[in-house]
Structure 1
Amino acid sequence: MNINENHISLLSKAFEKDPMFVYLFSNKKGNEQSKTLIRFIVKRNHILEGLILTDHLKNPSYVAVVERPRNLTTVSIRAKVRLNIEMLLLVLKLPFHVLRFLTKYQKLTTASAPNGPHYYLTMIGVVPSSQGKGIGKKVLREIHSIARSSQPPYPISLDTENQQNIAYYTRFGYELKETKIVEGLKVYCMTRAAE
């Protein structure tokens, strides 16, 4: 499904109290910078042929951004060029401290992910008025079904900066593999084994 500004706004709203987003975007331009980062994450996911799960174009109740198992050596030259252009545009739009943090974050979290191919749950957001109604559970089950039906079945990894999320994801079979610290911010790296 195509993603639009309604989806970007939903993710921005869902992550506005996330410890990483608070840390990175606590200035006057924070909301717009947050949306800039989310747009980049979505574009990157699209270029790398990832998954976007959502229920509606105009009034979505959830959005999930999931990277498929991949090997960057199999990514086309065209996709690599597009990705580099998007990264250059991001450099021009975000403050240096945000870019520095994101570089450190990616390096540390990648080191904690499974060594082999796996799905990576980049973002999952539920509109605040629909939280607590089982939508997150439904979306996770859909992601788990996709990973399970892959040939071969793949594990799923995710990272969260919100300590309360650890118990939530543990109920769905994720294990806390490592806790990393990026510029004083704790990042909890979790993995769900292939089924």
Structure 2
Amino acid sequence: MKTSYRLSKLTKSDKPAFVSLMSRAFSRDPFFLHVFGDSELDHTARKSVTAFLSFLFDKSFLFHEEVWGIFDEDSLLGTYVVEKPQTNKHSNIKGGLLLIGRLIPLVFQLSGKTLILLNSYMRITRSAAPPWNHHYLIMIGVKPEAQGKGVGKTLMQHLFQTIEADHESQGIALDTEKKENVGLYQKLGFTLQEQTKIDDIPVYCMVYQKNR
């Protein structure tokens, strides 16, 4: 990677860049295609993806989550959203109340089928999560033009450094719907915890445990 690249935590002003990047990075993702439709060809699907990613970004500031990204000057090249293991009940209650206000418009922006599938995904993947304290990698994406340049690897290295420095965290859990990603994560030290399905879409639940 270029030494001029900058890795930093995203702020609320980075929301448009985050939504644009993740929309493109996940446009051919099997689960996104199944839930939202083809956002590259269908205007309604594109609006649904935008609404969902906007909600996801807003949610990260209401709960115990962080969004990190790699920039080339002012251009966002890659980003990830991670949920940390430490919980603060008071802040979670406050975040939950604020989230209700953000959920109401989302209900009108997404179809009932889409909402059911998203809820099923959360329920199934979280049930496969390890019982020990861990970071949960919600999403990681790289701008198509920046793929193959070490952006994703650098983001993962940053996450590994984060959990090594966090005494409350014993590792990372993540989920992917792409079979080819399983081997890539295994090379990074992840193991396949569980393989399941949502409709006909395979879901691979993986974990990385430190100090093994």
TM-score class, shorter-chain normalisation, is over 0.9
Unaligned runs of 5+ in 2: 1-9
Note the C-alpha offset of 1:74.
4.9
CA distance in 2, matches of 1:13, 1:4: 14
1:74–1:189: structure 2 CA closer, same or farther, 3 Å change rule? farther
Letter in 2 for 1:51: E
What pairs up with 1:18-33 in 2 under 5 angstroms?
A: 18-26=29-37, 28=42, 29-33=44-48
Corresponding residue for residue 112 of structure 1:
128
Corresponding residue for residue 42 of structure 1:
57
What pairs up with 1:1-195 in 2 under 5 angstroms?
A: 1-2=10-11, 3-26=14-37, 28=42, 29-56=44-71, 58-71=74-87, 73-195=89-211
Note the C-alpha offset of 1:71.
3.8
Letter in 1 for 2:20: S
CA distance in 2, matches of 1:69, 1:130: 30
Per-residue CA deviations over 1:93-133 (Å, capped at 9, x if unaligned) read 10111100011111110110011321111111111111011
Instruction: State percent identity of aligned pairs.
Output: 27
How many residues are aligned here? Answer: 195
CA distance in 1, matches of 2:53, 2:105: 13
CA RMSD of aligned residues (A): 1.6
Unaligned runs of 5+ in 1: none
Q: TM-score, normalised by structure 1?
A: 0.93
Q: Secondary structure at the match of 2:75?
A: coil
Q: TM-score, normalised by structure 2?
A: 0.86
Note the C-alpha offset of 1:168.
0.7
